[in-house]
């Protein structure tokens, strides 16, 4: 790891200012991805701007059918929240299945969403629930936020402040985890809402998290596992690695989707 400047601002405005004046600054949230990357010398930012001291970026609130989670709220806090469990049990369960206890006690929802790892769990919830990502300058709909592998609609210097999730009628998330890392080899979030059904897949696509319109249409007509057909997902669009080839991942999408529908009830 190379040397860098370190700042721990106490306000969002100070964080934005510190990031703006840095030569090649990077925001530090939970550090579960950034710090290992720096240790491996795959990243060498000139400055780290630590968001941990900003109280306004932490916390969970439920109001008007919406669950809003501050960007610096840890996975463990989401998993253990009575408010989240009561409003969106699937979201609390997803958070409780991220990584291991050490990761859940350090990792944050804002860091996960902003990093947009193609095998991360939270992007499936954000896209599957049609959430809104809020930043220090605007609000971004989930369908517009994720733009590719490790890529989002965030502009340079833009900071995620919170994620707002509409409360669905029913929802569930099921994943096939890598047994070592607990990352999703394939994860599927299914949500039935007043405006329709949404199905989001993580860990499988070679372009990152994505929706499955064919499944959404089928489930809108018949919300049952039997509505999910094999063969809808093309292997050409799937990741292939030493853990699972593209054909297997395409098969797992249908399997995990059926399990998610069954779990949603």
- The pLDDT tens digits of the residues spanning 226-255 come to 999 988 999 999 999 999 999 999 999 999
Predicted confidence band of residue 110 (pLDDT cuts 50, 70, 90): very high
Q: Hey, CA dihedral for 33, 36, 42, 44, is it positive or negative?
A: positive
Domains and CATH numbers, the chain: 5-50 (3.30.43.10), 58-264 (3.30.465.10)
**How many C-beta atoms lie closer than 10 Å to residue 146's C-beta?**
24
Q: What pLDDT is attached to residue 73?
A: 98
Tell me the per-residue pLDDT of 14-38, one tens digit each, with 9 for 90 and over.
999 999 999 999 999 999 889 999 9
Share of the chain above pLDDT 70, in %: 100
Chain-centre distance for alpha carbon 40: 24
Chain-centre distance for alpha carbon 11: 24
Measured CA to CA, the distance from residue 20 to residue 157 in angstroms comes to 6
Measured CA to CA, the distance from residue 247 to residue 239 in angstroms comes to 9
Measured CA to CA, the distance from residue 202 to residue 121 in angstroms comes to 7
Tell me the per-residue pLDDT of 73-101, one tens digit each, with 9 for 90 and over.
999 999 999 999 999 999 999 999 999 99
Instruction: Return the closest-CA partner of residue 88 out of 24, 173, 146, 145.
Output: 173
Q: What pLDDT is attached to residue 26?
A: 95
Tell me the per-residue pLDDT of 112-136, one tens digit each, with 9 for 90 and over.
999 999 999 999 999 999 999 999 9
Q: What pLDDT is attached to residue 262?
A: 98
Predicted confidence band of residue 180 (pLDDT cuts 50, 70, 90): confident
Chain-centre distance for alpha carbon 48: 22
Mean confidence (pLDDT) of the chain? 96
Q: What pLDDT is attached to residue 141?
A: 98
Predicted confidence band of residue 179 (pLDDT cuts 50, 70, 90): confident
pLDDT score of 1 more than 80: no
Measured CA to CA, the distance from residue 103 to residue 82 in angstroms comes to 21
Residue 62 vs residues 66, 83, 171: alpha-carbon distances, Å: 6, 7, 17
Show the tokens assigned to 64: 């008007």
């Amino acid at each position: 790891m190379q040397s860098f400047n370190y700042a721990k601002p106490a306000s969002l405005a100070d964080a934005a200012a510190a990031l703006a004046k840095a030569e090649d600054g990077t925001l530090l949230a939970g550090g579960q991805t950034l710090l290992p990357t720096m240790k491996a010398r795959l990243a060498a930012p000139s400055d780290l701007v630590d968001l941990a001291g900003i109280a306004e970026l932490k916390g969970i609130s439920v109001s008007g059918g919406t669950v809003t989670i501050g960007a610096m709220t840890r996975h463990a806090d989401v998993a253990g929240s009575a408010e989240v469990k009561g409003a969106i049990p699937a979201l609390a369960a997803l958070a409780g299945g991220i990584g291991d206890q050490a990761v859940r006690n350090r990792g944050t929802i804002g860091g996960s969403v902003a990093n947009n790892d193609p095998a991360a769990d939270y992007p499936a919830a954000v896209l599957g629930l049609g959430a809104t990502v809020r930043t220090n300058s605007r609000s971004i709909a989930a369908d517009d936020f994720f733009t590719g592998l490790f890529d989002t609609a965030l502009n340079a210097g833009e900071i995620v402040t919170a994620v707002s999730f509409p409360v669905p009628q029913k929802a569930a998330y099921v994943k096939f985890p890598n047994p070592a890392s607990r990352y999703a080899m394939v994860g599927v979030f299914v949500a039935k809402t007043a405006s329709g059904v949404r199905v989001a897949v993580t860990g499988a696509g070679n372009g990152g998290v994505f929706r499955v319109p064919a499944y959404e249409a089928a489930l809108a007509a018949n919300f049952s596992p039997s509505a999910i057909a094999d063969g809808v997902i093309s292997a050409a669009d799937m990741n292939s690695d030493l853990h699972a080839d593209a054909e297997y991942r395409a098969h797992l999408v249908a399997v995990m989707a059926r399990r998610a529908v069954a779990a949603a009830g």
